[in-house]
Amino acid sequence: MQVRVLLFGSVREALGVKDLDIELETGATVGALRALLAGRHELFSRIRLLAAVNQETVDDAQALAEGDEVAFLPPVSGGMARCTLQDDALDVREVEARVTGDDAGGVVSFVGAVRNQSKGQDIRHLEYEAYPGMAEREMEKICDEAARRWPDARVAMAHRVGHLAIGDLAVVVAAAAPHRAEAFEACRFAIDTLKETVPIWKKEFSTTGESWIEDHP
């Protein structure tokens, strides 16, 4: 089967074309297409590219069909992705920078950190596990919904995965808007919804044992 790959921004400039017609095995996934392109163009394995099929964001498990239009999207806003999962330390200012601008009269951030106690237990460390691709897609949906509810607001978020020590930041949500009320409301909506819908799981390691916690920080 054949699909058309659309290229934008730095990827389009690096390859020198705006689209590619690619032949794939019937039923191939976005991941298989990404791997094929990475074998031909090192850029596809070097930078994080969001995938969209027929203008809908998808993860790499998405199956493709004849004639699908696949876009690989480089990070937006001057090289900063709006929503990220990462295994290195979170930077509050960097997340805030994803949403700030000359129109932002209010910038509100929620920062979730690893505390040393939980439900009467002394905590040694935490581990976070996520479903990559889907987690970031759900985070993007939250930001889109916040923008729908508060049209002048912008929201960005970052979440850690892997091993976190006491005091490490687990999640940062930033919201910017012309006025503080909308920024506060959008930020609270984003963190509350993230805890309910995004596939990220937390495991606590205490002095008496370990257990999975069915919520987020």
Q: Hey, what domains does the chain have and what are their CATH numbers?
A: 2-73 (3.10.20.30), 83-213 (3.90.1170.40)
Rg of the chain (C-alpha set) = 19
For the chain, report the end-to-end CA distance as a whole number of angstroms: 44
Q: Which pLDDT score, from 0 to 100, does residue 124 have? A: 97
For residue 118, list its beta bridge partners.
121
Q: Tell me the pTM.
A: 0.65
Check pLDDT > 70 for residue 78: no
pLDDT in tens, 177-210: 999 999 999 999 999 999 999 999 999 999 999 9
* Cα 110 to Cα 36: distance, rounded to the nearest angstrom: 39
100 to each of 144, 154, 181, 214, how far by Cα in Å?
16, 8, 16, 32
Check pLDDT > 80 for residue 82: yes
> Do β-strands 117-118 and 169-177 pair in parallel, antiparallel, or remain unpaired?
unpaired
